[in-house]
Every structure is written in structure tokens, then in C-alpha cells.
Chains A and B, each alone.
Chain A
């Protein structure tokens, strides 16, 4: 089925370990996003990629890096995980542009725990 595929679904890391969250979409969308979801705070934007070859910081970029590998794939890397990065991470994609009626298509989320 067409959509956004995120891997892994669950991950436990030790403080200081690194990992990469993978995201791929097959809808030919231009824009891709990484959000984190924390209780009582909704979803906050970490990084986004307006189009292939570009990436920009969102609201909470510290401790993260991203790569827009091609139009389909957008990965999020934690270089040295910290307990404060325990969260649920969502990848999303959209056609792009500001006044479109279509919303995001979300991946299923990654539940990350840093101990």
C-alpha cells in the first residue's frame, strides 16, 4: 500500500549510543518532516526537507541530524542519545506548498526509549 514507512517501530538505546531512524514514502511527495511527540506537548517539528537536496531545522533540532537521501527517503540520526530524547518519533510527507488542502501522510511512528 502507498504511504510512509518508518523503521524501526520500537528501539531502546543506552545513553550515548547512536542510531538512525529510517523513513521512506512512495507517493512522490516533495516535502518530508520529522516530528517528536511528547505527552502534553503535541507534535514538535525536529527537521524538515522541503524538497530533495534541502533540509532545514524545525523547532527542536538539537541532538539530531537528518539526511534527505533522495526524493523517497529522509532519515533522522541521533549521534549520542540522551534520556531527554525518549519520545515517539513520526515521519510525515506532503506534496508541499503552503495553501494545499491535503495534510500530511504520517508513518506509523517509532517509540524510542533512552536509558
Chain B
């Protein structure tokens, strides 16, 4: 069985600072994908970044980067230069290679509040 753990229910960060959101996972699948989604107060789910388990480099997408440590089974999201619009709930999710038809397992989420 797969499991995603996000241990930070909520956090505050000042504008223009960087913030790291923790995500650890547990899987026995030989290969897997890790995803981060953002959910602003409006409720929609927005895809941010993807990391494949065999990718040689950590993923980056603009101000988002993924600190992937395979041996530790962690996939932390780093948001650089935080903006007020980054205030949202953030979900880590995983899809395993033996998961039929692309089902995702989601973490409980981390609520981020960016303050001026």
C-alpha cells in the first residue's frame, strides 16, 4: 500500500521569503511519480510540479522546485520568493507503477499563509 505524509498542517511565511513544504512517502513500487498541487481559496486544484522516481535531476518549474531525496523517500516542495498569491493549500500526491490506471494517493495537505 502507498502512503503520503504531510506533517505540516499549516505555516506562515513572509512575502519574498522561501518556504519548504514537507512530503514523505512510502511505496514498494519500483518506479513512481510524485506530484504537487495547489488549491487556493477558490477551490480549484492546480498542478504545480512533477518528479519521476528515476529522474536524475530535481524538478523545477519557475519559482517551484522539488527537493527529491529518494533514499529518504521525501519530496519536499520549495517555493522561492513567496508572493501573497501563494497563500493556498498544497497537496503532495503519488502515482505508483503498479497502481492501475493512474490512481493518485494524496497527502492531507499543508495550508500556507503568506504575510506582507
Q: Contacts A41-B108, A106-B45, A108-B44 hold; do A98 and B102 have CB atoms under 8 A apart?
A: yes
Query: Among A43, A98, A99, which residue has its beta carbon within 8 angstroms of that of B106?
Result: A43
Interface residues of A, CB < 8 Å — how many?
Answer: 33
Quick one: CB contact mask for A73-115 with B, threshold 8 Å, 1 for yes? 0000000000000001010101111111111111011010000
Contact (Cβ within 8 A) B44 A98: no
Question: Which B residues touch A102, using CB under 8 A?
Answer: 50
Question: Which A residues touch B95, using CB under 8 A?
Answer: 98
Q: Shortest beta-carbon distance, B60 to chain A, in Å?
A: 14
Question: Which A residues touch B47, using CB under 8 A?
Answer: 103-105
Contact (Cβ within 8 A) B45 A101: no
Quick one: CB contact mask for B66-105 with A, threshold 8 Å, 1 for yes? 0000000000000000000000000101011111111110
B8 within 8 A of A: no
- Bound-state CA distance A58–B105 (Å) is 11
Contact (Cβ within 8 A) B44 A106: yes
Contact (Cβ within 8 A) B45 A90: yes
- Bound-state CA distance A43–B45 (Å) is 11
Q: Shortest beta-carbon distance, B53 to chain A, in Å?
A: 9
Interface residues, chain B, with chain A CB atoms under 8 Å away: 4, 6, 9, 31, 33, 35, 37, 43-45, 47, 50, 52, 91, 93, 95-104, 106-109
